[in-house]
Amino acid sequence: MEKELVLVLDFGGQYNQLTARRVRELSVYSEMLPYDSSLEEIQGKNPKAIILTGGPASTYQENAPCCDPGIFELGVPVLGIGYGMQLMAFMLGGEIEGSPACEYGYSQLQILEPELLFSGMPDDIQVWLNHGDIIKKAPEEFTVSAKSDNVPIIAMSSPARRFFAVQFHTEAQKNTCGIEVLKNFLFNVTGLRGDWQMSDFIADTITSIKEKVGGKKVLCGLSGGVDSSVAAALVHKAVGDQLVCVYVDNGLMRKGESEEVIKTFQEQMKMNLVYVPAAERFLKHLQGVTDPEHKRKIIGEEFIRVFEEEKAKLGEIDYLVQGTIYSDIVESGTRTAPTIKSHHNVGGLPEDMDFKLIEPLRLLFKDEVRIIGEKLNIPPEIVWRQPFPGPGLGVRVLEEVTREKVDILREADAIVREEIKKAGLERDIWQAFAVLPPVRSVGVKDGARTYAYPIIIRAVISDDAMTAEIARLPWELLEKMARRIVAEVDGVNRVAYDITSKPPGTIEWE
């Protein structure tokens, strides 16, 4: 039976990848493509439906993002969201104009046409709006499906052509009805089965890797984090002993991490693991470097150079496995999204590396990776390990990285993670860690003046790392961590707690 696919065309909105994720949550497989993908590429995917996402542009501005108009002649259902709604209206003969004021926040929506897209919903629902343009006039074949007090066209539809559009963002958790709208589009409008499962992904990926690799050896850059571990397990399922995992201790790992990785993958999972101690090498290359993008690129390139050296020792190896996931790609910059920060395994890769990449998880979100890890019987302490950046503590020691700073941060970070675990919050929190800023402050210890570093504690709650809220840790827990850090870690005399969400901040400081 042919597999169902929903294509999500990305117009550059910050949370567009969440739309693809929400579709998958409803057991329908989705993929994202840039908005300017050719009609031939889109047809080649044989989508059962297409979603046009939000974006920051205005349809009437010069060089506004625009999809191929042939999309509306494919005979498949199309859902426009935010900018996608305005673009649909603009391309099909409607009129768009700037709103007197940008609308940002909650608004009460009045449903005028309850069939299909709004089926099963009350007449008045609360939605989250974020837009600066409005549709002044819908295209001729469209009817207005919903309105608000401030906006006369919040939703529109052409049921005969199966074209639907909403101004609010269905992917946002603030919209209580968002998932229902997507569900109605996928099942009421498009008539999909909703039978996609992670087990399908695993089987398809294993088959694909076998076909790609054949009988050749494969090198995996293993960090011990969930992403690289699941990638390694998938490839191991596909090619067995053809896989050689290389764990590089770059001197920027968390306390006890190297020992745990070696034990887990050599003893428990019986994988061929090569351990490479390379702390001096990485720290030398980072001397005097303060720019975070430069640090990430140095670390990314040095990883590749180490892998190339190990490849020379092991014999002919064409392929390198990486645990790249979708959020890494988005934050590192795409054709439709700006660079937030270059992940060492994406934007930090050297152009002249001597490998072909295998990235089996590149279209998955973190929570989906964990599901696959459980299905592959990877030990839970690996599957549920909190995310750790590929450059390690190198991007948590702000500005220049030195051995002294890394040692200070490693001890402070261990205390934070230990106390989070003792409090039973390890799985409730997406990430909890310590950051070492490049400043010192005056303090008092044992009746004497000190001039030492502060430590910043960062703890957030998230589903996929694309957005994050601060973790509201108990004051007693924060006080305990602060007391221990100041008492047990030499060179620290102050502790602060970061209460910034993402956005406007990112989870990591660099």
**270-299 tens-digit pLDDT:** 889 999 999 999 999 999 999 999 999 999
Q: Which pLDDT band holds residue 339 (cuts at 50, 70, 90)?
A: very low
The segment with the largest mean pLDDT, out of 163-167, 223-227, 464-468, is 163-167
H/E element holding 494?
strand 492-498
pLDDT of 458 above 70: yes
What does the pLDDT read at residue 232? 94
In which band, very low, low, confident or very high, does the pLDDT at 344 lie, cut at 50, 70 and 90?
very low
- DSSP element (H, E) containing 237: helix 226-239
DSSP string, 167-236: SS-TT-TT-TTHHHHHHIIIIIIS-------HHHHHHHHHHHHHHHHTT-EEEEE--SSHHHHHHHHHHH
Report the topology of domain 5-189.
Answer: Rossmann fold (3.40.50)
Q: Strand pairing partners for 96?
A: 135
In total, the chain counts a number of residues equal to 510
Helices (H), 263-354: 279-285, 292-314, 326-331
Question: How much is the pLDDT for 27?
Answer: 93
* pLDDT on residue 105: 62
Q: Report the percentage of the chain scoring pLDDT > 90.
A: 58
Report domain 198-383's class. Answer: alpha beta
Q: Residue 455 belongs to what H/E stretch?
A: strand 448-461
Which has the minimum average pLDDT: 74-88, 145-159, 213-227, 351-365?
A: 351-365
Could you tell me where the DSSP H helices lie in 357-466? 366-375, 380-383, 403-422
Taking each helix axis from N to C end, the angle separating 475-488 and 403-422, rounded to the nearest 10 degrees, works out to 140
**17 — pLDDT class (breaks 50, 70, 90):** confident
- The token pair at 94 is 């409607």
pLDDT of residue 189: 95
What is 396-498's CATH number?
Answer: 3.30.300.10
Helices 198-213 and 226-239: crossing angle, nearest 10°? 60
Residue-wise pLDDT tens digits, 31-87: 889 999 999 999 999 999 999 998 888 888 888 999 999 999 999 999 999 899 999
How high is the pLDDT of residue 387? 84
Q: Comparing 87-96, 165-174, 286-295, 385-394, which segment has the lowest mean pLDDT?
A: 165-174
Q: Report the alpha-carbon distance of residue 468 to residue 358 in Å, rounded.
A: 29
How far, in Å, CA of 483 to CA of 63, rounded? 56
pLDDT at 343: 43
Chain center to CA of 330: 7
**Phi–psi pair at 493, nearest 5 degrees:** -135, 10
Query: Could you report the per-residue pLDDT of 461-493, keeping only the tens digit for each?
Result: 987 677 789 999 999 999 999 999 999 999 999
Would you say residue 347 has pLDDT above 60?
A: no
pLDDT at 340 over 60: no
> Are domains 5-189 and 396-498 of this chain identical in fold?
no
DSSP class of residue 391?
T
Q: Where are the domains of the chain?
A: 5-189, 198-383, 396-498
What average pLDDT does the segment 347-351 reach? 53
Q: What is the mean pLDDT of residues 11-19?
A: 80
